[in-house]
Structure 1
Amino acid sequence: MDLDNLVLMANRIGQFFEAMPDRQEAIDGISGHIRKFWEPRMRHELRDAIASGRAEGLRPLVAEALAAKPEVLA
């Protein structure tokens, strides 16, 4: 899958959860959505891109959620 598309999809998820007043709830929502609805190959590709510094453009809350719960991308 195209990395730019994965970043765009992750950012759309993040935009939805950014409206939540509870930051921890937003982080849990983002990571939970990606864990439940993304195929393993999508999660692995995003994980590898983040690790190699190629996942430019991730919204800060999305990056924070994925850093806080790295098992989501495993």
Structure 2
Amino acid sequence: MDNSNLIKMANNIGAFFKSEPDRDLAIQGVEQHIRNFWEPRMRKQIVEYVDNGGSDLLDIVTEAVKKLAKS
């Protein structure tokens, strides 16, 4: 899948959870959504994007992807 599509999808998830007043819960929500609903290839690709310095993601999405990569 094209990175631009993944970025758009991830940022849409982030936009939904951004209204959560607790930043940690918002990050956890994004991480859990990606873990539950994205196929492994998509998760791997977004992790690689962040690992390679990708900067087009919302900050809570970037943090969620970093947490996803650790698990």
Question: Which ranges in structure 1 are unaligned for 5 or more consecutive residues?
Answer: none
Question: Offset at 1:33?
Answer: 0.1
Identity across matched positions, percent: 45
CA RMSD of aligned residues (A): 1.4
Question: Offset at 1:47?
Answer: 1.2
Paired with 1:70 and 1:52, the residues of 2 have a C-alpha distance of 13
Kindly provide the CA deviation profile for residues 19-67 of structure 1, in whole angstroms up to 9, marking residues without a partner as x.
01111111110000000000000011111122122x3310111112222
Match of 2:44 in 1: 44
Q: Does 1:7 align with 2:7?
A: yes
Question: Which ranges in structure 2 are unaligned for 5 or more consecutive residues?
Answer: none
Question: Offset at 1:69?
Answer: 3.8
Q: Does 1:61 align with 2:56?
A: no
1:12-31 map, 5 Å: 12-31=12-31
Alignment coverage as a number of residue pairs: 71
Q: TM-score, normalised by structure 1?
A: 0.85
